[in-house]
Amino acid sequence: MTRGAALDGAVATFDSGQFLEQLRRRVAHPTESAVPERAGALRAYLAQEIVPAVEAMGFTATVLENPLSPGHPFLVATRVEDPGLPTVLTYGHGDVQPAHPQQWRAGLDPWQVTVEDGRWYGRGVADNKGQHTVNLLALEQVLAARGGRLGYNVTLLLDMGEESGSPGLAELCAAERELLAADLLIGSDGPRVAADRPTVFLGTRGSVNLTLRVQPRAQAHHSGNWGGVLVNPALRLAHALASLVDARGALRVPALRPPTLPDAVRAALADVPVDQGPDSPALDPDWGEPGLTPSERLFGWNTLEVLAMTAGDPDAPVNAIPPSARAHCQLRCVVGTDVAGVGGAVRAHLDAEGFGDVVVEVEHTMAPTRLDPDDPWVAWTLASLRRSTGTAPALLPNLGGSLPNNPFVEVLGLPTVWVPHSYPGCAQHAPDEHLPAALVRESLLVMAGLWWDLGELPTWPPSPLDDQEDTR
């Protein structure tokens, strides 16, 4: 059989309705990892959907307990053709964000896939059940086209706690290094740069969540009787925030800024506009770091965002100076940022600016990751996608958001290549989550081509001569 036959088989699963039928079953499992009562649904999803599917392809599947969070198990499935062959590790997650069914528009149910105007609606269709279903069905078709042999080994890692921060993933990777040993990670999560453009990204921006708090006293006091002689914590906090970020969103603290925008990153982003589809918000052209393009600001730079802030009761204000004020902030950051030092840098800056009364609390950190855009896997992957679709794919050095890529890079030491099967307007964490059907069909082509081309490689990693021709 041929590469073309494998791709034809993959899209046939879409055209025949097989893919949609499988996705309907998977979406029906209410796998909300943030809801403790759904623990049984998380395990049922693995036992009833994923284990039978991968065992039919020759995998040996094992459900592993989470070393940190017992309610969020992992599935590790291995398909070993020969221990001497290279291995690709593929990752996805079966848990979803809370559904909030009352917030979905009339006619939609988060636990049922609804087909409407070329879109598929349901919780998990984009994040991430639809994405790992694409990868597994495409792999199944490549196996069929190759007579049951790939020419390499595959390990599947399915995370059932990704939407809760992937607790235990790094610890699992450390404890199961031998089981998860591989030569390459191919993951699918997050969005393309646009619905109609296949995309490869090489890592993610990191994140640091921190709270700034000012509390000069235990209770409120009448603003007429005490205004002008008591510190107003809301004003103190506002000025503290303004010392960190200017009025147009540019960072004022050198330690919060990346050291540079590498030439390879700038070159890749020159071909990547920020999505402005009908479901995307309009860009604010003068917001953010001056001198950078919108794509460089989003994917190549750091940003400090205020996620929420409060003083007093905004819904029922009274004539009183509030006793406290707080702001929940998040630094999104790229490679080169000292994530561990962010809290200390903010503390030192505020002290130097006279804001010693502002308390800084760091709640969560995730380090940024980025495979070098000049790594041989990058050009090879782009060539494979171009060969399958006939279009030039986009290369993002890193995703603007954050995914649990760190354990694969820092613990397992893998080159990481992500091929997403969603798009920016999919409402993945919101009501009315959906995917365009045409994107799903094209993604099956993309993944069938990738799985096939891996089996054609004479060496891992590939040499420049292994880039694929632009024909099926």
Which domains does the chain carry?
3-204+369-466 (3.40.630.10), 206-257+302-366 (3.30.70.360)
The pair of three-digit structure tokens given for residue 247, joined into one six-digit string: 């009025």
Q: Are 119 and 426 in contact (CB under 8 A)?
A: no
Report the candidate in 144, 134, 142 with the shortest Cα–Cα distance to residue 198: 134
pLDDT of residue 471: 47
Q: How far apart are alpha carbons 238 and 223 in whole angstroms?
A: 18
Distinct helix (H) and strand (E) counts, the chain: 14, 19
Q: How far apart are alpha carbons 10 and 99 in whole angstroms?
A: 30
pLDDT of residue 29: 98
Residue type, 430: A
Omega cis (within 30) before 461: yes
Residue type, 151: G
Report the candidate in 135, 187, 197, 144 with the shortest Cα–Cα distance to residue 3: 144
The pair of three-digit structure tokens given for residue 376, joined into one six-digit string: 């041989």
Q: Report the run of H or E that residue 333 belongs to, with start and end.
A: strand 325-333
Q: What is the pLDDT along the chain (472 residues), one digit of tens a residue?
A: 799 999 999 999 999 999 999 999 999 999 999 999 999 999 999 999 999 999 999 999 999 999 999 999 999 999 999 999 999 999 999 999 999 999 999 999 999 999 999 999 999 999 999 999 999 999 999 999 999 999 999 999 999 999 999 999 999 999 999 999 999 999 999 999 999 999 999 999 999 999 999 999 999 999 999 999 999 999 999 999 999 999 999 999 999 999 999 999 999 999 999 988 787 889 999 999 999 999 999 999 999 999 999 999 999 999 999 999 999 999 999 999 999 999 999 999 999 999 999 999 999 899 999 999 999 999 999 999 999 999 999 999 999 988 999 999 999 999 999 999 999 999 999 999 999 999 999 999 999 999 999 999 999 999 876 655 544 5
3-state SS class at 457: coil
Q: Residue 131 — left, alpha, or beta (φ > 0 → left; ψ -120 to 50 → alpha)?
A: alpha
The three state secondary structure string of 73-114 is CEEEEEECCCCCCCEEEEEEECCECCCCHHHCCCCCCCCCCE
Which string of DSSP letters, residue by residue, matches 381-417?
HHHHHHHHHSSPPEEESSBSS--S-HIIIIIS---EE
Q: How far apart are alpha carbons 451 and 412 in whole angstroms?
A: 21
The pair of three-digit structure tokens given for residue 128, joined into one six-digit string: 């991430």
Report the candidate in 387, 221, 193, 186 with the shortest Cα–Cα distance to residue 318: 221
Residue 354's CB is within 10 A of a number of other CB atoms, namely 12
Q: Are 209 and 362 in contact (CB under 8 A)?
A: yes
Map tokens 């993944």 to a residue. 447
Backbone phi and psi for residue 266, each to the nearest 5 degrees, phi listed first? -60, -40
Residue 95 burial class via C-beta count within 10 angstroms: exposed 0-12, middle 13-18, buried 19 and up: buried
| pTM of structure | 0.91
Give residues with Cβ within 8 angstroms of 261, minimum separation 6: 292, 296, 300, 301
Q: How far apart are alpha carbons 404 and 396 in whole angstroms?
A: 17
pLDDT of residue 234: 98
Residue 270's CB is within 10 A of a number of other CB atoms, namely 11
Q: How far apart are alpha carbons 97 and 90 in whole angstroms?
A: 21
pLDDT of residue 464: 78
The pair of three-digit structure tokens given for residue 64, joined into one six-digit string: 């592993």
Residue 304's CB is within 10 A of a number of other CB atoms, namely 23
Q: How far apart are alpha carbons 315 and 100 in whole angstroms?
A: 23
